[in-house]
Amino acid sequence: SLNARLGGDEVVAKATKSFYAKVLKDETLKPFFKNVDMAKQTKKQTDFNIFAFGGSEKWYGRKLTEVHKYMGVSNANFDKVGEYFSESLRELGVSEDLIREVEQCNEKYRSVVVTI
Ligand code: HEM
């Protein structure tokens, strides 16, 4: 799976953690997470990423459409989030080929996350 090729759960967990540090430093993204428990969110996003990258069979959390429904995420927000995740992978030494695969995988969720 892509998850295994990225280096497994541990690498995905590290990337997700460093990714949220970047997201929270971004003034355009920070407000979305104002009332969110980031420790829990990091755990959920890690689990989801592992699932999305084929490292587990099932996602036990909420439906992404429901989660992001009234959030008002724009394409620009979505692009920024993707860029930060790619940066975090790059910092962990993940190859550009694999980063491209991750970006293609994320792209599948654009239409359910972006609502404005
Ligand atoms: C929550 C996935 C993009 C903001 C979540 C959760 C997942 C997720 C799995 C946790 C669901 C649960 O509670 O069970 C994704 C994916 C994205 C994406 C796969 C893109 C590929 C975004 C973007 C934003 C965003 C672009 C905002 C700029 C949030 C917020 C929560 C959340 C604020 C917390 C909701 C809450 O607990 O109240 N997302 N997301 N997400 N997402 Fe996203």
pLDDT for 42: 98
Domain count, the chain: 1
Please choose, from the candidates 92, 78, 85, 66, the residue with its C-alpha nearest in 3D space to the C-alpha of residue 19: 85
pLDDT for 104: 98
- For residue 6, how far is its CA from the centre of ligand 1 (angstroms)? 21
Give me the percent of the chain exceeding a pLDDT of 90.
Answer: 100
Q: CB-hemisphere CA count at 13 Å for 52?
A: 19
Per-residue pLDDT band at 96 (split at 50, 70, 90): very high
pLDDT for 61: 93
Residues with CB under 6 A from ligand 1: 29, 32-33, 36, 41, 44-45, 48, 61-62, 64, 67-68, 71, 73, 77-78, 81, 106, 109, 113
Report the CATH number at residue 97: 1.10.490.10
ipTM reported for the complex, 2 dp: 0.90
- Which residues constitute the domain of residue 72? 2-113
Instruction: Quick: pLDDT tens for 1-51.
Output: 999 999 999 999 999 999 999 999 999 999 999 999 999 999 999 999 999
End-to-end alpha-carbon separation of the chain, Å?
33
Instruction: Give the closest residue (by CA) to ligand 1 atom 35.
Output: 67
